[in-house]
Structure 1
Amino acid sequence: MFPVEEQAIAGNIRRLRKQANLTLEEAAGAADLTKSALSKIERGQISPPISTMLRIAAALNISINDFFTAEVQEPVYVLTRKNQGDTISRDGSQFGYVYEALGLRKRDKAAEPFIITINPGDPSGEFHHDGEEFIYMLSGQLEMRIEDEPIKLNAGDSLYFNSSHIHKTQVCGKNPARFICLFIQKERT
């Protein structure tokens, strides 16, 4: 067993990995470690060299200093590599919509960016919520209805609207519709 200080560091590594929403396997892979080695580090069974701690910090997109402090500073940026966004559940998930979060690890955000995929035949849900939405079509065709006014969107088109109005989506054609959607929270006064 290691002194309390080293146990606290091990606990911080585990806590920070979980805050980053990474599994043990994902974090270990990103840090070029085995799952077993990272597990032992997180449980305080082995004391990693600085070079290993630097790789773990890089995998978590944090500073190595964060392992030694209780207060963790917000990262300057959140990078999401192509096809590496976290798939999460939102209101449209019940209709088959797939939400790939592009900035999940950013805390206290004013906007939530996603790549959303809707397949032909997925039922159209009716939505309304505080804030605004920005949509940029990547591929496919989508019919957006805002307060029952139909708006056809093709690849390259964009739409910005007040999302407190009732809106729904429907795929047009035989291909999935894929688009960037930015949910923007209005500042409350």
Structure 2
Amino acid sequence: MNEKVRDIAERIKGLRLLTGWAEEEAARKIGLPVQEYLKYEKGEDDIPISILYEIADCYQVDLTDVLTGVSPKLHDVCFIKKGKGLKVERYDQYDFQSLAYQYVNRKIEPLLVTLDAENSPELVSHHGQEFNFCLEGKMKVIIGSMEYVLDPGDSLYFNSLIPHKMLALEKRSAKFLTVILL
């Protein structure tokens, strides 16, 4: 497992220890089987972004705290230069960049996502609602039993509790903006 995953795992363990919870209690509160939680806390498995949100919510910290160990500080404006978003490495099939990670108490999580054309991700679900806006390439979004094909300029808004995934089409990567309502 890479160094970033181990660092995140250490922060998750630290948060649990600060609360005084046993591993079983933390797993229960986050809604995970104990063995799965322990794999994440020990850095033995990649942590899905949806689980990272659950962990941050459970420990009442910002996602940026979990990812970087540094709390966001900005209250009024957060300006991110092109290519300078916080990389969130959770899945091989997705390259996430958080575009507001320095803003305190975000109500939405805007992410620039690049889809790898070679792999097919697992279905995920998470609390909130999600908005996707296709920027480059062609992509398929599977939401439950429905499939939607997005070309540049197309958008989709949906209940993110429904299992979903995004796929790059035409054997080339695709890029989209996703905004998740927290």
Fold conserved (TM > 0.5)?
A: yes
Equivalence for 2:177: 180
CA contact (8 A) 2:131 2:155 kept: yes
Q: Is the aligned partner of 1:81 residue 2:81?
A: yes
Equivalence for 1:114: 111
Partner Cα separation in structure 2 for residue 73 and residue 161 of structure 1: 30
TM-superposition CA deviations, 1:25-74 (whole Å, max 9, x none) = xxxxxxxxxxxxxxxxxxxxxxxxxxxxxxxxxxxxxxxxxxxxxxx974
CA contact (8 A) 1:95 1:125 kept: no
Q: For residue 81 of structure 1, what is the amino acid of its counterpart?
A: K
TM-superposition CA deviations, 1:127-161 (whole Å, max 9, x none) = 11110000000001111111121110111000000
Equivalence for 2:61: none
Equivalence for 1:101: 98
Matches within 5 A, 1:2-151: 74-89=74-89, 93-151=90-148
Tell me how far 1:75 sits from its aligned partner.
3.0
Partner Cα separation in structure 1 for residue 86 and residue 124 of structure 2: 22
How many residue pairs end up in the alignment?
A: 111
CA contact (8 A) 1:115 1:178 kept: yes
Q: Is the aligned partner of 1:158 residue 2:141?
A: no
CA contact (8 A) 2:74 2:102 kept: no
Give the TM-score, by structure 2 length.
0.58
Q: For residue 86 of structure 1, what is the amino acid of its counterpart?
A: L
Partner Cα separation in structure 2 for residue 74 and residue 120 of structure 1: 35
Tell me how far 1:88 sits from its aligned partner.
1.6
Partner Cα separation in structure 1 for residue 73 and residue 97 of structure 2: 25
Unaligned segments of structure 2, at least 5 residues: 1-71
Aligned-residue identity in percent: 25
Q: For residue 76 of structure 1, what is the amino acid of its counterpart?
A: D
Give the TM-score, by structure 1 length.
0.55
SS of aligned partner of 2:91 = helix
Unaligned segments of structure 1, at least 5 residues: 1-71
Partner Cα separation in structure 1 for residue 138 and residue 162 of structure 2: 22
RMSD: 1.6
Q: For residue 142 of structure 2, what is the amino acid of its counterpart?
A: R
Which moves more between the two structures, 130-139 or 163-172?
163-172
